[in-house]
Structure formats: C-alpha cells, structure tokens
Structure 1
C-alpha cells in the first residue's frame, strides 16, 4: 500500500527561528511516498472487541515506522510532559456490516539537528472494509491552528510556530455510508482527549460567567491565566 507524506514549509515562529535555524528552515518529509504492507495498520486495531465510543491504546512499533516516513528520528517519549502528555489512543467512531471508522490521536516528537520538533498532536482517521479486510482510507496529520508545534533549539531555547501541513495519507473516504452505530467526530475527539488530559474534565467558563455563577451556586472563583493551549502539545 502506497502512503504519501507531506511537510509544508514553516510559515511562522515566535522568535523567527524558522529562518535562523537551518533544521527548521529546511524541514521536509523524509520520504514523499512509501510502500507498506497492509499489516502495519494492525497497530491501530483494538486487541479485543470494542463498542462505539470506546478507546484503546495503539501499538507503538507500527506508528514509529509510519512516522519515519516524515522524519527519520521520531520519539514517542516526548520531552514536553507534565504527566499527561504521553500516549497513542484510538476510538471506534462508527461501524456497520461493511465498514469500521476509527479516529485516533498520537503525541510524538522528532529529533532534528540541534534540537527537537514537537507537533501539537497527530490526529488521524482510518476506515476499514470489514468484508474485504482492506484499508479504504488512512490519514495522520497535524491539525491547523494559530500555533501547532513547539520546538527546542539546544543552543537557544524554546520556540512556538505554525506549519501548514504535516501529513501521511492514502486511499479515499467512502461516500454516503450509513452506519449502524456511530458517534460524532466531536464526541470521538473528546473521548480521545480524555485519555490524555485530566484538565478536560473541568467545566471551564469565562470570568464573566463565573462572576454570575459563583453567588448562585455559593462557590468560590478559581482564576487560571494561561499563555498557551491546555489541550495539545504546542506550548
């Protein structure tokens, strides 16, 4: 099975290191296209039967092999880790007699010359033909965002930035599939993020809303000031 890989030039960094640091300035995909055995995608399958909405851990070796198509030195034991950053998780989003639809989330980094490059996350989508036992569609990518990666230059320090595309992809999504059982993409993504961050379980509200709710519920106000996102690794 042929998988295409893409890394677009970095468009922005906070301290302009994508211009001054050669490893960022010249960041590019290791292999634009690579042939894999279909067995590599078994890493994303559950070890036992699961229900829609249930999550399971992804097998590391298969993921590392795929990530090497983007960069030869992937690392799943990322340096930015406050105790809830590590992991590779998948969730069964939908299925019927013919197809299974799986979404996943992976946290990884790449060792590059002079430092390391940590995407916010690798989001992913896998569709399997259950009858033919074939991969119909596979995509693993870094989502867009104002900032979607963190980097560390050994001689200078930390950096934040935006890369418009970092992706592995093969196949085509089937059209007009009616699933027997399903949850929404948003529900699947929330199930996955709960596998990583305890902070997601908190009902965050704006300061204005808190000032209204606190007297009514007779609860104190806890104010948290953030300079980056809570729900990915881009800070």
Structure 2
C-alpha cells in the first residue's frame, strides 16, 4: 500500500512552469514606446549635429571674412550687416550709398509719420547750440595724450546745429499730452517707457545708425535731429526713455514738464563708434487739451553744473574692444519755439482765404488770450518727481556735504558719504 511495484512509474513530477506570453497590446505598447524614444534621441542628436555644423560653418565663414577684409574691415562690414547673414542687401548698403553720393532719400519715415495738413496750426522751432568745451574734458589736462585725433573727429567737427530751424504742426506734439484719465498735477507718466532692466542688461555699443522711431518716438527723434542727424531716443543704459508730468491745468490748456534721456552717435564708418550722452534733456510745453494749439515749447540740456555730458568711444572692431570714457561740459543745447502756433491758412467770416501778410509785408499779428491757470505746481517739485521716476533711489534725500552733518546732528544719525565723478542724478557720472 502506497508503494509502487517494481517496473511501474509514478506520476511525472511537476517541472518549472513555461513562461506566459505577454498580451499582444502590452507588446505593441512597449514597441511603440521604444520607437518613440529612439526617434526622440535621433532628433536630439540630429539637432545637436546641425548646431555643431552651423557653428563650424559660421566659424569658417568668420575666419574667411577676417582673411578677406581684416579685423577693421569686418567691423565695418558687420556694422552694415544688420541681420547678420553675412550678405549686404541694398537696404543695408543704403547709408554708405548716401554718404558716397551725397544724396538723401526724398521721403523718410519722419515725413511719413508726420504728414502735413494745410488747415492746421504750425509753429517754428529754433535750435541754439554751442559745442562742447574740449578743455572741460579730463583728458585735455594732458593734451589728450594717447587719444587718437580720428577718435574725436566727430566731436571736433560738431560745431553747429544740424538744422537751425524747423516747422512743426501743433498736432505733432500730441504725444506730450497726458494719458486719458490722468490729470493729477505732478503724477509722472512715460512718453517713451524704458525697455531695459537689470535682467535685460544694456544695448550694444557697436552701432552707428539709430533704428527707425515708432509712435511717440517720432516727434522726439525729429526734435533731437535738429542738433545732430543720428540721435538715439533710447539710451544704451538705464534709465532710458522719456517721462512727463503736469505742472499747470486750465479749462483748455496743460503745461507739461518732461525729462528725456537720449544720446547721439557722432561717428560713421570707417571710424569707430563715439557716443555723446547729455546728462538729460528737460523742458516744458504749453498746449491745448486737443493738441491743436501750442502756446510755448522749450527743450534743453541743463548747464548749471560743471559737467553735463558723458562720452564713450571704441578703439576696436568688436563689442569687447577697448573703450575710452570721459565727461565734459556743453554750454548750450536748446530748442525754443519762436512763438505760439498759428493757422497755416487764414479764412474770413465767409470762409474765403485771406492774405496772411499786411501790405507792408509783415505777417498779420495774432492776439492770444491769456491763460487762466486753475492748478499749478512748482518747477522744483515737478523736476523732483520726474527725477524720482527716472531714479527710484532718489526717494531718499541726498544732501550736500556740509548740510548732511547738520541734519545728522539734528536727527542723531550717522553720515554715509559718497564721492562721485559727476552728478548722482543724471548721465554725466
């Protein structure tokens, strides 16, 4: 019982179980995932290889360009090749063509943006300009030792305003009006907002020609072009832009005070860039609330300090080339309206056009009603608010050296002394 007889076999012992075949759907999923991973890896490899190939091609192209043109020649070529495709298009070559032929296009973006209208009021703006005093530059103390004469050629040759006078329509100054709903005295708003920050860094030094102005930049560009043909309405460094605030309000008029940070490029190829950065442009405009009439306009670089201009120029053909820096003093850089805006066409009561001149040849005199201001803000307070808008650190009061100790003693506080090469609250330091 329980034993097997000789010659008989017992039941076969169970062996290892055969592997179970995976479901068909699972197999297909794994295969598809593997294919996707392989394709993704191949795509990444292809992109990396393409970038490497492009970088190698660009390096070879750069090396070839240096051999063909030399470092200085490549710098000139790159300054014209704005899209960096290593080809000069007719549009990119235009500045050189104009310089060589002496021709100026019959139309420009300014004329397209600021069309004339014979039925509107116009005013004449005059430019008053006295060149920078070379003896005010620190490098003049040693006779500009080590400074190339070519480097300063643009500065030395800039002795007069590019355009002594120009005619503007009153409505061209509409960008100086406050934003809709903003009618508080002294509340700043941006005419041209800054596009730079600590994160964005600064704009390139290696430029000659300003970008075409857009929108509210157009009127400021046109005004500054009266001084020099290459104004940049946005500076390379912060604080950039233009800020304004109301200083007086009447039933029909505003007085607007403004502050503009702009700079000029005084050189053209084949010279290296030379940047001329006034401390600031400030001024005011009195205009009607619908911008159909301008009663007064003035824009100028303040000249009450011993230094009011920063200058920087390159000594090489790249962004990392050596740069010289200096500061100086310009006695006068000013735009002033010769009088209020007046109608371009004068009509009588029946709508007929009449002569705008007296029999003697003199223009008809216009009598303007005196403006009765309902609210006013002092110039000093308005200037302070615009200053704080440009330089938020000015919310803290900075005092002259001697006054600081009197305040410290009265408030029982310590004195933090700062020594500056120029002014703290403008571009000349």
Asked if TM exceeds 0.5, the reply is yes
- Alignment pair present for 1:142 and 2:301: yes
1:115 match: 274
- Alignment pair present for 1:25 and 2:25: no
2:329 match: 162
- Displacement of 1:205 in angstroms is 3.8
Matches within 5 A, 1:196-211: 196-205=390-399
- Displacement of 1:217 in angstroms is 5.2
- Between 1:57-66 and 1:113-122, the stretch displaced more is 57-66
- Alignment pair present for 1:153 and 2:293: no
Alignment partners' CA distance in 2, 1:154 and 1:132:
42
Name which of 212, 222, 229 aligns with 2:416.
222
SS in 1 for 2:389: coil
Segments of structure 2 that go 5 or more residues without pairing to the other structure are 1-121, 192-215, 268-272, 316-322, 341-367
- Displacement of 1:209 in angstroms is 5.7
- Alignment pair present for 1:42 and 2:201: no
Q: 1:131 to 1:152 in 2, by over 3 A?
A: closer
**Under a length normalisation based on structure 1, what TM-score does the superposition of the two structures give?**
0.86
- Displacement of 1:212 in angstroms is 6.3
Q: 1:182 to 1:24 in 2, by over 3 A?
A: same
Segments of structure 1 that go 5 or more residues without pairing to the other structure are none
Q: Which has the larger radius of gyration?
A: 2
Alignment partners' CA distance in 1, 2:126 and 2:414:
52
Matched residues, number: 232
Q: 1:205 to 1:140 in 2, by over 3 A?
A: closer
Root-mean-square deviation (Å): 2.8
1:103 match: 257
The answer to whether the 8 Å contact 1:105/1:124 transfers is yes
1:5 match: 127
Higher helix fraction (1 or 2): 2
**Under a length normalisation based on structure 2, what TM-score does the superposition of the two structures give?**
0.49
Name which of 229, 236, 240 aligns with 1:86.
240
SS in 2 for 1:127: strand
Higher strand fraction (1 or 2): 1
Q: Which has the higher contact order (CA 8 A, sep 6+)?
A: 1
Alignment partners' CA distance in 1, 2:291 and 2:241:
30
SS in 1 for 2:394: helix
- Displacement of 1:47 in angstroms is 2.2
